[in-house]
Each structure stands twice: as structure tokens, then as C-alpha cells.
Amino acid sequence: MSRTVLLNNLEHHDLRVLAARGARYGDGEMLAPTFFGEFRELQAHYPIVFQKTADGGFRSVALLGLRPHENLFLEPAAGAADGERWDAHYRPMAIERLPFLIGIADEEPMVHIDLDHPRVIRGGEQGEALFLEHGGSSAFLQHVASLLRALHDGLGADAGFIAALRRHELLEPFALDIRLDERSQHRLSGFHTIDERRLGALDGAALQALSQAGYLQAAYMALASLSRLRELIERLSRRHAAGR
């Protein structure tokens, strides 16, 4: 359950947010929604694929794991009895923003917070303060607001990228069969990738239009990111061998 409210410095002056990572803090997800403007940072660590939505469209997602509710980038933190570390230098914005989100208040996007999120605490010295002693926003909250704005705007702009991919029929379904041992196999399915052959066969005018919109570079970054599937498989195999 969640209890999402508009953040303000009167009711929430003593709220703090823990910086800890782990499944118990909302990080244990198989995928993270993203947008084409984030692909440059993501492609160095995560495969980028496309998932069908309930309305028949598509959305861009970064794969963090190969099985539902499993993030293969979460590893036990050395020397910590309770906690995990994120084993990559970059975390997707959709994960990094937790427990904050953009909500609409008076027809304007505003910072909201989930008061029931496990990273949210009241008072004490742990975690990051959201407000200064006299009510101004902390540097941490200013960073969060900037991140939320980039995510909100980026997810909105991604509709144009997806529309261009569909207009040129560049999305194709794919499935991945993974052999973990002699008795265990796993299949990843339900996602789409960019059809590299069709992309390369587009005429000059189409390629120029995609390039001018910033979509062509993003498409090739998504294609390049698929090399990260091998690393995900290796992470899953190690976890399987360890009985985790």
C-alpha cells in the first residue's frame, strides 16, 4: 500500500529519506520504465527493450532482471547484517526517484511523497533531510525535484519516439531461452527490440528525420544495450548456483 501526499514544509518538515538500497526499499523490480533521453546512461549497464502496454501501445524499459520481482543488480552489502548494494554505477531515474513522484496539483506537476514507503522516516539523524531548519528545500530535495522533472518530461516525450518506431515498423518481438543447469531453464519473453535490419534499410529521408529528432542515436543505443543481456544471464546463473 502507499499513502501519497503533496510534499510541503509545514506538515513534513521533519521527514527524512534513507539512502539505503535493497528489495525492502522498493528496488526489487525486474524492470524500470525509461525514455529515449536516458538511453545513453542506461546502455552501459542494462538491456533496453520495449514492453506492450494495456492500451496496445509500447513503453521503453530497462531490464534489471530476467524474472518477475528480481533485480539482479542488488547484491549483499559487504559487512552489513541487513542491507544490499546496487552493483552498477548508474541507477535508472524511475528507481532513483523513490519514494518521490510527480503528481498534479492545481493543474501543475508537483513533488509528492509516499509516506508509507520504507525509506521515509520522521526525525532523527538518519537519512537525508528534505527541508532546512527555517523551511527552505535541502540540496537533496532540490536534486530530487530536478530528477522528477527530467523523468516526467522524458516519459512524456518518449511517446514521440515510440510512435516513430511503430511508424517505420521497427519493433519486433523476441524471446530468450536460458539454460541454468541440466534441470533448470528459464524463458524471457513478452518484450520487443528494434529490428536492426529494417532500421538499416530505411531511406535517407526517414533516417534524417529520425536523426534530427534524436531518435536514431537512441535506437542504436538500445540495440547496443542488448549486449548487456549476457551479463544479466551470468548474474542469474551465479545466483542460481548459490541457491538464491
In a domain, 2, yes or no: no
Q: Are 232 and 66 in contact (CB under 8 A)?
A: yes
- Average pLDDT over the chain, rounded to an integer: 92
- Give the pLDDT confidence of 55-105 residue by residue, as tens digits: 999 999 999 999 999 999 998 876 555 568 999 999 999 999 999 999 887
- Give the pLDDT confidence of 216-230 residue by residue, as tens digits: 999 999 999 999 999
Region 106-123: mean pLDDT is 92
In a domain, 168, yes or no: yes
Number of structural domains in the chain = 1
Cis, bond preceding 99 (omega within 30 deg of 0): yes
Instruction: Give me 18's grid cell.
Output: 534513507
Rounded distance between C-alpha atoms, residue 239 and residue 64, angstroms: 14
In a domain, 217, yes or no: yes
Instruction: Give me 123's grid cell.
Output: 526525525
Q: Are 236 and 230 in contact (CB under 8 A)?
A: no
In a domain, 140, yes or no: no
In a domain, 76, yes or no: yes
Which residues span the domain enclosing 126?
18-96+120-132+151-236
In a domain, 110, yes or no: no
In a domain, 12, yes or no: no
In a domain, 166, yes or no: yes
Amino acid letter for position 59 = R
